[in-house]
Structure formats: structure tokens, C-alpha cells
Amino acid sequence: MKVVNIITFIVAFMLLISGIYGLNLGPFSIEGGQHQRSNQIGSYLCISCIGLSGTRVSHDLTDETLERLKKINYPVEIWVFTSDDCPTCPDAKAIIFNFTVENPNITYQEIRLETQPELFDTYSVSELPTTIFFNKDGVVLRKDNFVYKIIGIDRLQEKTIEAIEMVS
């Protein structure tokens, strides 16, 4: 029994150290150690993965949205925070892309976690996908002193058009 105890002890701490110092085991490898990786997973949560938001929405804009979109005559910039792991981020991107197609005043930019993680921190984005809005001066849209964020893809269309009208 003593031998088993000692072996488990050693194995447990070996695993811990290997996790911290990036000794990756397994068919696929990742950038950095599992230590950093787990930080990424924990900090920037794909909320559809946890089942907090729906996973299926249609990308087509409704007639009501189009009507309201046509009235917009000021430039609006939309940022979509995405990640490679996130299964619903492409949906969000597609919907926002449809907005830019319908109205040239609206532009969008994709912020990827893998390339620009510092922007996630500046806007304190911890969920994916997240959408935020800027006006022509590059000032972020705020509501009640907080950055106005649309999290997830549930009713993204309705929320986005409301936000665009709020930018003015």
C-alpha cells in the first residue's frame, strides 16, 4: 500500500508540473502550456458551449430590421469578439456581416482571441461571442456607464439594430 501511495503522489505532482510547464501529451498539441490554456478557457467563456444561449439562429435579416437599417445615415463600427473554439461565433459574424452589406455606413471588425487578447481585457470581454459598437469618433457605445455588450446570438438581430439606433 505504501508503494501505491508514493507512486500516486509522484504521478499527481508530475502531472501538475507537466501541465504548468507545457509538456503536452495527446494527439493534438496547443500553443503554450495547459496552464495558460485553462486560463483562456476559464476567462473567455463560450457561453453557448455552457448552454447559456441558443445555438441556432437564421442569418437572414427580417423586413423590419431592413427598414430600420435603411434610415441609418451615420457611420457605425461594430466589433465582434470571437475565438477559434467558439461554435456560435461564426453565426454572430455572419449576422453582423449581413448588416454591413445592407448599409455601407456600418462597418465591422473581428477581434480574435488568438491574435488580439489585449483588446478583450480593455473592454473586459469575458464571454464569446460579444458585440460592441463605436460611433464615427471611435467612442464606444455605453449604457449606464458600462460598455454596451451583446452577448451570445440570442435575438442578436433585434439587439443590434436597437444598438445602432442608440449610437447616433
Partner 1 sequence: MGKIKKIRTLSQSISLVLINIGFLGIFVKHLTFPVFNCYACPWASIGCPIGLLQNFVMNGQVPTYVMGAMGSVFVVVGSAFCGWICPFGFFQDAIDFVKGIIKKNNKKTVRKRKINYKSIDLSLITRLIVLLTTLVLAFTFVDTIFCKLCPVGTIQAAFPYQITYGFSYNIWLAARIGILVLLLVMFFVISRFWCRYLCPIGALAGPSNKISLLKMYHNGNNCDGCNICKDVCPLDIDVMKDQNSSRCTRCADCIDKCPKGHLAFGLDIFGLVAVSPFKKKKPKVPEKKAVVTSSKGIPEVEKRLETEVSEQRRQDVSEEFKYEDKEKLVERPTYMGFKKGERVYVPYEEIKKIGIRPPKTSLSVLLKQYSEGRLGEDYNATEAFVDETVGEKLRDTPKTFPREEVDKKYFEKFRIPKRTELHSEHLKYLKNLDVYLDVKAIANSIDDIPAVLLAIVDGSDRIKFQYMNTREQSANWYYKDKLPSVYINEKYYNSLFSEDEIIYKIKLEKYMIENTSLVLDYKKCIGCNAQNCKKVCDIFNKIPPMEDGYSVYPLKEFDCTLCGKCLVECERGGISFIFGEKHIEDSNFSIETIKKNRELISSIDPKTFMLFLEKNKKHSNRALNYAIALSYLSHGKLSYQLIDISINEELALKRNISAVPCFWISNKIQVSGMISESSILAFVRKISKWKE
Chain residues that interact with partner 1, rule: CB under 8 A:
1-2, 4-6, 8-9, 11-20, 23-30, 33-39, 41-43, 45, 47, 49-55, 85, 87, 126, 151-152, 154-155
Q: Which SS3 state, helix, strand or coil, does residue 75 take? A: coil
Closer residue to partner 1 in complex, CB, 100/126? 126
Residue with cell 486560463: 39
Retrieve residue 110's grid coordinates: 473581428
Minimum CB distance to partner 1, residue 119 (Å): 17
Continuous H helices in 44-128:
63-70, 89-102, 117-122
Minimum CB distance to partner 1, residue 51 (Å): 3
Closer residue to partner 1 in complex, CB, 19/75? 19
* Angle 139-44-154 from CA coordinates, rounded to 5°: 75
Minimum CB distance to partner 1, residue 160 (Å): 14
Spatial CA neighbour of 102 closest among 137, 133, 135, 63: 63
Closer residue to partner 1 in complex, CB, 102/158? 158
